[in-house]
């Protein structure tokens, strides 16, 4: 309860201090990050913090000299074991905390700062429209014969079968990428209302409505669960099932792995995630996305030898499945039968 109080206190301060611009939310997320990540000393390990005010304490302190709060035996945050175990614990906590702060932006939006974020209802409009004609052009370039998407049910109600792989070397426009993620999609698709814009400077922008459950189960592959996040920050129980996201990146893919990833900007529900938070989890983000690309390619029998942006198009070279077919499972799993 003391930890919940500690974080709630910061949330109250946020509500008190935010008065009119989304930029202030960005600054306060930095404050949160600097206070939630437990300080780490190379010689002493994880340092002891007050369970009330969060300030650093001397080892074994019974009372906080700053606020007078009595401390439990061992303190609010005791030192971790020495050696490799301590290092793994520190890195895991740091990565999870950075990821949680991205989710914390959702909490800020969902519990009372709606007036600050103009993009809370719909994803950012990047000015790229979706059409069936652009979709047909995209799958023709990719050489994929795709069946008509199911109109009901859940993902577990269908099995997906992929055709034999074939070589592909092509480029897709912003309109084709946008249509590929929007047209002929089932209602249970994790990404909705997507827009993708390929820029002349080599960056790619995207906005969409994203299923948060998909992030935990597929992108993170169960490495961190929603329960893990709630242990770190109990208020995260308020995360909505679907959120609006925006990102701008510069990156490429070589042999199913990201190369030269540079995250220019990320927004969740219209709130900008501070660069310091993103930078602190850079290795974690790359490792997570590499795993997601690898698993997705393995499932589809695909291989991306090269992908990147050139001359205003997203270019891809490798092997992709020749067809995608979704067959219903009997009885449907979502019915519980």
Residue 292 has pLDDT above 80, yes or no: yes
Residue 94 has pLDDT above 80, yes or no: no
- Helix, strand or coil, per DSSP, at residue 154: coil
Q: What DSSP element (H or E) covers 195?
A: strand 191-198
What are the b/e assignments for 249-267, b being 16+ CB within 10 Å? bbbbbeebebeeeebeebb
Angstrom distance (rounded) from CA 101 to CA 203: 24
259 or 61, higher pLDDT:
259
Helix residue ranges per DSSP H, 161-225: 174-182, 212-214
pLDDT band for position 10 (50/70/90)? very low
Torsion sign across C-alpha atoms 28, 70, 64, 69: positive
Residue 257 has pLDDT above 90, yes or no: yes
Residue 3 has pLDDT above 90, yes or no: no
Angstrom distance (rounded) from CA 154 to CA 303: 27
Is 212 within 8 Å of 242 (Cβ atoms)?
Answer: yes
The per-residue pLDDT for 11 is: 43
| Residues in a beta bridge with 335 | none
Angstrom distance (rounded) from CA 300 to CA 306: 17
Is 97 within 8 Å of 37 (Cβ atoms)?
Answer: yes
The per-residue pLDDT for 142 is: 96
Residue 308 has pLDDT above 70, yes or no: yes
60 or 310, higher pLDDT:
310
Q: What is the pLDDT averaged over residues 58-85?
A: 62
The per-residue pLDDT for 114 is: 41
Q: What is the pLDDT averaged over residues 236-250?
A: 75
Q: What is the pLDDT averaged over residues 134-140?
A: 96
Q: What is the pLDDT averaged over residues 123-146?
A: 94
Phi, psi dihedral angles at 40 (to 5 degrees): -125, 130
The CA-atom distances, in angstroms, between 308 and each of 38, 178, 179, 314, 317 are 38, 16, 19, 6, 9
Residue 254 has pLDDT above 90, yes or no: yes
Neighbours of 175 (CB within 10 A): 21
Residue 203 has pLDDT above 90, yes or no: yes
The pLDDT mean for the chain works out to 72
| Residues in a beta bridge with 244 | 209
pLDDT band for position 188 (50/70/90)? confident
The per-residue pLDDT for 271 is: 73
Closest residue by Cα to residue 288 from 195, 217, 227: 217
Neighbours of 63 (CB within 10 A): 12
The residue with tokens 């690309």 is: 293
Percentage of the chain lying above the pLDDT 70 cut: 57
CA neighbours within 13 Å on the CB side: how many for 276? 10
Residue 115 has pLDDT above 50, yes or no: no
Residue 172 has pLDDT above 90, yes or no: yes
Percentage of the chain lying above the pLDDT 90 cut: 32
The per-residue pLDDT for 38 is: 40
Angstrom distance (rounded) from CA 270 to CA 252: 26
267 or 116, higher pLDDT:
267
Is 314 within 8 Å of 179 (Cβ atoms)?
Answer: no
């Amino acid at each position: 309860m003391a930890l919940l109080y500690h974080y709630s206190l910061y949330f109250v301060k946020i509500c008190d201090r935010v008065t009119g611009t989304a930029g202030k939310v960005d600054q306060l997320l930095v404050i949160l990050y600097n206070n939630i990540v437990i300080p780490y000393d190379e010689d002493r390990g994880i340092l002891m913090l007050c369970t009330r005010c969060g300030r650093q304490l001397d080892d074994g302190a019974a009372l906080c000299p700053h606020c007078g709060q009595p401390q439990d035996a061992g303190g609010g945050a005791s030192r971790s074991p020495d050696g490799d175990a301590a290092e793994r614990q520190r890195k895991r906590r740091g990565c999870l905390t950075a990821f949680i702060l991205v989710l914390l932006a959702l909490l800020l939006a969902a519990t009372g700062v709606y007036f600050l974020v103009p993009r809370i209802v719909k994803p950012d409009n990047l000015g790229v429209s979706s059409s069936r004609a652009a979709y047909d052009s995209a799958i023709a370039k990719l050489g994929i014969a795709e069946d008509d998407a199911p109109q009901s049910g859940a993902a577990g109600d269908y099995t997906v079968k992929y055709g034999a792989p074939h070589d592909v070397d092509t480029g897709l426009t912003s309109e084709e990428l946008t249509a590929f993620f929007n047209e002929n999609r089932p209602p249970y698709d994790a990404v909705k209302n997507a827009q993708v814009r390929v820029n002349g400077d080599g960056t790619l922008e995207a906005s969409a409505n994203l299923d948060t459950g998909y992030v935990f189960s597929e992108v993170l592959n169960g490495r961190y669960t929603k329960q893990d996040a709630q242990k770190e920050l109990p208020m995260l129980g308020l995360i909505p099932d679907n959120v609006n996201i925006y990102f701008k990146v510069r990156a490429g893919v070589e042999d199913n792995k990201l190369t030269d990833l540079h995250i220019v900007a990320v927004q969740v529900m219209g709130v900008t995630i501070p660069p310091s938070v993103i930078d602190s989890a850079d290795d974690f983000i790359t490792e997570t996305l590499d795993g997601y690309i690898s698993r997705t390619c393995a499932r589809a029998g695909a291989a991306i030898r090269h992908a990147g942006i050139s001359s205003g198009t997203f270019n891809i070279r490798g092997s992709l499945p020749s067809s995608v077919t979704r067959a219903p499972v009997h009885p449907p799993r979502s019915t519980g039968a």
